[in-house]
Amino acid sequence: MLAGTASLMNRQVSSWVRQGGLLGTLAVLLPSTALGWSNHPLCTWQAVAVMPGMAERVVTAETLGSFLGDVSDRLPAALEGEEIWARAHLPFYAPRPDALRFGGASAVGKDAASLRAGFVHAIRVNEGMMLDLYVQRLPGVGVPAERVLPWSSASVLESLEDTEAGSLERVSEGDVLRVADVVATATNEPDLGLDIGLWADSGSAQGGRYGYGAQPFGNPHLSYGTQAPFHMGFYHESGLVYRAAGYLQHTYPEARIHLFMTLSRFAFAQGHPYWGWRFAGWAIHYVQDLGQPYHARVLPGVGALTMVGIGALDMLGIHGPQVAAVTRVTNRHIVLENYQYRRMSAAYRAHDMDDPLLAALRDTSDDGSLERLGASSVREIVSAQSAAVADELDAQLVRIFPDADVVVADAADLDMNSVSRRAPAAEQASMTRLVADRMRQVGRDTRAVIRVLDPEGVGR
């Protein structure tokens, strides 16, 4: 999400802060920056490029209807096992209503549309997602006009500033695709709307059925904001923060990661490698999100006591500090995403694969610290490392972008990569190092997921 998405939020901050305390305000405003990294395929292509044989591997495209038509009698057991796991291991998980259980024997022989609807409801994602066949192409690679996928076939959003609609190429069932392209494309799909409008107060029919309850934090009236609790995981705040705002623990990245890894294993085991890789990409998205410090910490650079103090002032009618704190964290998040996207996109277009951010994604020197992603490592390693550097990165953003706390309403086209070059060389180097470190983790974590799921065991 780039700067233009935040303009409406910044105009409405003053009215939303009345909902009670700084942490209450964050409950409304955090999801205005619900994207973790901008345009995930830019990260994924580089991360998988260094995996042995990945560049040469191909897979045959298959529609969701064909996949479900073949596995409809076996899929219910896999989904029920996943539901049992989530209820047992995720303390704040909202159980899936039994009425949404995938049909089992009753689903056999149903048409593709009915199977798709039953599946979408069973995994509780946005029912407007078409889940058509397509691949995203690299920046600068043209897609013939007749093969461009209509945006509405990929997303429930009107647009996404960091993804060019013309970069999505429609493919047909039976087409042979590079595995790397399937995985990379899929890592962006959750940001295209999988998790939008799923809450009881989202104003959607699906939200009333899915059983998630009211949105724990974020503004339910901003469509993009409704996905935040699925993409953010605040596992490393102080006890004081959790006592003041327990709802911050009601997040779903772990549930999404485990669910989509389960579906990936299932698809591979049933002889449907295309969906094995596509589900793998979905899981990777949330893992990559947790490598973004603004998705792992509520207010980087602000201590727990300060947060509570600002909230107390707001309750006394002194709203200025609260408005400033929320606007500040939102804008810094936007600036980081803009810098990362603009820099990486420019490097791709210039064929500069030696750019430090792209090179870091291919750097395997730290892979030994997390060779295979496990359920506990999502919290104990991935988000923990991201949260640990949040304050340092937040401070560096201020040094290299002195105006980072002021994102103007019409700044959608602002290029923070270009802006960064106005800073002293030492500050540019520090910014490059810190963001490259984040990319190094994203690359490591991406490969850690693939090593677990790849049926050929490449890279294990």
| pLDDT tens digit at each of 460 positions of the chain | 443 444 443 444 333 333 445 566 556 545 445 566 889 999 999 999 999 999 999 999 999 999 999 999 999 999 999 999 999 999 999 999 999 999 855 565 689 999 999 999 999 999 999 999 999 999 999 999 999 999 999 999 887 777 877 899 999 999 999 999 999 999 999 999 999 999 999 999 999 999 999 999 876 666 678 999 999 999 999 998 888 788 889 999 999 999 999 999 999 999 999 999 999 999 999 999 999 999 999 889 888 888 878 878 878 888 888 778 877 888 888 889 999 999 999 999 999 999 999 999 999 999 999 999 999 999 999 999 999 999 999 999 999 998 776 654 445 678 999 999 999 999 999 999 999 999 999 999 999 999 999 998 865 5
Q: What is the pTM of this model?
A: 0.92
Query: Is 94 within the bounds of a domain?
Result: yes
- 46, 443 contact by CB (below 8 A): yes
Query: Is 382 within the bounds of a domain?
Result: yes
Burial state string for 133-169 with b = 16 or more CB within 10 A and e = fewer than 16:
bbbbbebeeebeeeebbebeebbbbeebbbbbeebbb
Query: Is 158 within the bounds of a domain?
Result: no
Instruction: Tell me how far apart the alpha carbons of residues 183 and 277 are, in angstroms, rounded to a whole number.
Output: 6
Q: Which of 308, 305, 296, 251 is nearest to 389 (CA)?
A: 296
Nearest-10 crossing angle of helices 64-71, 112-123: 80
Q: Which of 194, 155, 168, 219 is nearest to 27 (CA)?
A: 219
Q: Which residue has the tokens 């490029």?
A: 49
Query: Is 306 within the bounds of a domain?
Result: yes
The whole-angstrom distance between residue 248's C-alpha and the CA centroid of its chain comes to: 17
Instruction: Tell me how far apart the alpha carbons of residues 270 and 218 are, in angstroms, rounded to a whole number.
Output: 39
Nearest-10 crossing angle of helices 75-89, 112-123: 10
- 247, 27 contact by CB (below 8 A): yes
Query: Is 13 within the bounds of a domain?
Result: yes
Query: Is 160 within the bounds of a domain?
Result: no
Q: Which of 279, 264, 277, 358 is nearest to 57 (CA)?
A: 277
Read off the DSSP letter of residue 97. P
Q: What are the DSSP calls for 251-271, one per residue?
A: --HHHHHHHHHHHHHHHHHTT
Domain assignment of residue 362, given as a range: 3-58+82-104+178-453
Count the domains in the chain: 1
Query: Is 163 within the bounds of a domain?
Result: no
